[in-house]
Chains A and B, each alone.
Chain A
Amino acid sequence: MSQVLDTPPPTAAAAAPAEHDLAALAARHGLSVSGARPSLPTYVRQLWARRHFIGAFSTAKLTAQYSQAKLGQVWQVMTPLLNAAVYYFIFGMLMNTSHGVEDFVPFLVTGVFVWTFTQSSIMAGTRAISGNLGLVRALHFPRAALPVSFCLQQLQQLMFSMAALVVILLAFGVPPGPSWLLAVPALVLQFVFNAGVALVMARVGSKIPDMAQLMPFLLRTWMYASGVMFSIHHMTGPDSDLPSWVGPLLQVNPAVVYIDLMRFALIDSFGGDMLPSHVWAMALGWALVAGIGGFIYFWKAEETYGRG
Chain B
Amino acid sequence: MADNTPAERVPTVVVDGVDIVYRVNGTGAGRGSATAALNRILRRKKSEKASGVRRVHAVKNVSFVAYRGEAIGLIGTNGSGKSTLLKAVAGLLPVENGRIHTDGQPSLLGVNAALMNDLTGERNVYLGGLAMGMSRAQIKERYQDIVDFSGINDKGDFITLPMRTYSSGMSARLRFSIAAAKDHDVLLVDEALATGDRSFQKRSEERIRELRKHAGTVFLVSHSNKSIRDTCDRVLWLERGELRMDGPTEEVLKEYEKFTGGPDKAAKPKAAPKAAPKPAAGADSDAKAAPGTKVSA
Question: B114 — which chain A residues lie within 8 A by C-beta?
Answer: 57, 135, 138-139
Given known A-B contacts A12-B245, A67-B119, A137 and B14 have beta carbons under 8 A apart: no
- CB-based contact A137/B284 at 8 Å: yes
Query: In the complex the two chains form, what is the Cα distance from A140 to B114 in whole Å?
Result: 11
Q: Cβ of B91: which chain A residues have Cβ within 8 Å of it?
A: 34-36, 140
What are the residues of chain A within 8 A of B12 when measuring CB–CB? 31
Query: CA–CA, A308 to B116, complex, Å?
Result: 21
Q: Does A102 lie at the interface of the complex (its beta carbon under 8 Å from any beta carbon of B)?
A: no
Determine how close the nearest CB of chain A comes to the CB of B247; give it in whole angstroms: 5
Q: Choose among A23, A36, A140 the residue that contacts B133 (Cβ–Cβ < 8 A).
A: A140
Q: Which one of B117, B126, B240, B276 has the highest number of Cβ atoms from chain A below 10 Å of its Cβ?
A: B240
Which residues on B sit within 8 Å (CB–CB) of A64? 116-119
Choose the segment among B95-103, B205-213, B260-268 that binds chain A (4+ C-beta atoms closer than 8 Å): B95-103
Contacts of A18 in B (CB 8 A): 6, 65
Of residues 1 to 49 in A, which have CB atoms within 8 Å of B's CB atoms? 1-2, 4-5, 8-9, 11-19, 22-23, 25-27, 29-36, 49
Are B242 and A23 in contact, CB atoms less than 8 angstroms apart?
no
Give the CA-CA distance A278 to B92 in the complex, in Å.
45
Q: Which of B17, B102, B246, B283 contacts A134 (CB 8 A)?
A: B283
Q: Give B62's nearest chain A residue, CB to CB.
A: A14
A15-B246, A64-B118 known; A23 vs B16 contact (CB < 8 Å) = yes
A304 located at the interface, meaning its Cβ lies under 8 Å from any Cβ of chain B in the complex: yes
Q: How far is the CA of A304 from the CA of B14 in the complex (A)?
A: 20
Cα(A138)–Cα(B132), bound, Å? 10
Q: How far is the CA of A67 from the CA of B120 in the complex (A)?
A: 10
Which of A16, A22, A36, A52 is the one whose CB lies under 8 Å from B130?
A52
Using a Cβ–Cβ cut-off of 8 Å, how many residues does chain A contribute to the interface with B?
56
Q: Give min CB distance, A229 to chain B, whole Å.
A: 34
Tell which of B23, B102, B113, B123 touches A138, judged by Cβ atoms closer than 8 Å. B113
Shortest distance between the CB of B22 and any CB in chain A (Å): 8
Residues of the B chain whose Cβ atoms lie less than 8 Å from the Cβ of A33: 99-102
Contact of A15 among B13, B111, B245 (CB under 8 A): B245
Could you mark each residue 33-76 of chain B with 1 if its beta carbon is under 8 Å from any beta carbon of chain A, else 0? 00000000000000000000010110000011100000000000
CB–CB B110/A306 < 8 A? no
CB distance from A141 to the nearest CB of B (A): 7
A53 at the B interface (CB under 8 A): yes
CA separation between A36 and B113, bound complex, in Å? 22
Contact present for B103 and A137 (CB under 8 Å): no
Other-chain contact of B93, A16, A56, A307 (Cβ < 8 Å): A307
B152 contacts across to A, CB distance below 8 A: none
**Residue of A32, A60, A64, A67 with highest tally of chain B CB at under 10 A:** A60
Which residues does chain B contribute within 8 Å of A30, judged by CB atoms? Answer: 103
How long is the Cα–Cα vector from A167 to B16 in the complex, in angstroms? 63
Whether A56 contacts B119 by the Cβ 8 Å rule is no
A:237-263 near B, CB below 8 Å: none
For residue A50, CB closer than 8 A to chain B, the reply is yes
A225 on the interface (CB 8 Å rule)?
Answer: no
| A residues less than 8 Å from B284 (CB atoms) | 133-134, 137-138
| B residues less than 8 Å from A138 (CB atoms) | 92, 108, 110-114, 284, 287, 296-297
B230 touches A (CB below 8 Å): no
Residues of B within 8 A of A25 (CB): 11, 14, 65
**Known contacts A34-B102, A134-B284, A138-B114; A22/B133 CB under 8 A:** no
Q: Which residues of A contact B106 (CB under 8 A)?
A: 34
The distance in angstroms between the C-alpha atoms of A138 and B280, with both chains bound, is: 12
Q: Which residues of chain A are within 8 angstroms of B16 by Cβ–Cβ distance? A: 22-23, 26
- The reply to whether A17 and B65 contact each other, CB–CB distance below 8 Å, is yes
B131 touches A57 (CB 8 A): yes
Q: Mark B144-164, 1 if CB is under 8 A from A, else 0.
A: 000000000000000000100
B260 → chain A, closest Cβ, in Å?
14
A35 to B79, CA, bound (A): 23
Chain A residues near B14 (CB-CB < 8 A)? 22-23, 25-26, 31
Q: Which residues of A contact B94 (CB under 8 A)?
A: 35, 303-304, 306-307
User: Is A68 at the interface (CB under 8 A from chain B)?
Assistant: yes
Interface pairs (21), CB distance under 8 Å = A2-B54, A15-B245, A17-B65, A18-B6, A18-B65, A26-B101, A29-B103, A31-B11, A31-B103, A34-B88, A34-B102, A35-B95, A50-B133, A52-B136, A53-B131, A61-B116, A137-B280, A139-B132, A140-B90, A141-B133, A306-B94
Q: Which 4 A-B pairs have the closest CB atoms?
A: A35-B91, A26-B101, A133-B283, A31-B101
A residues lining the B interface (CB < 8 Å): 1-2, 4-5, 8-9, 11-19, 22-23, 25-27, 29-36, 49-50, 52-53, 56-57, 60-61, 63-64, 67-68, 132-141, 209, 303-304, 306-308
- In the complex, besides A23-B101, A33-B100, A138-B296, 14 extra interface pairs with C-beta distance below 8 angstroms are A2-B54, A4-B276, A14-B244, A14-B245, A26-B14, A26-B101, A34-B100, A34-B106, A50-B130, A53-B130, A133-B284, A136-B92, A139-B107, A306-B94
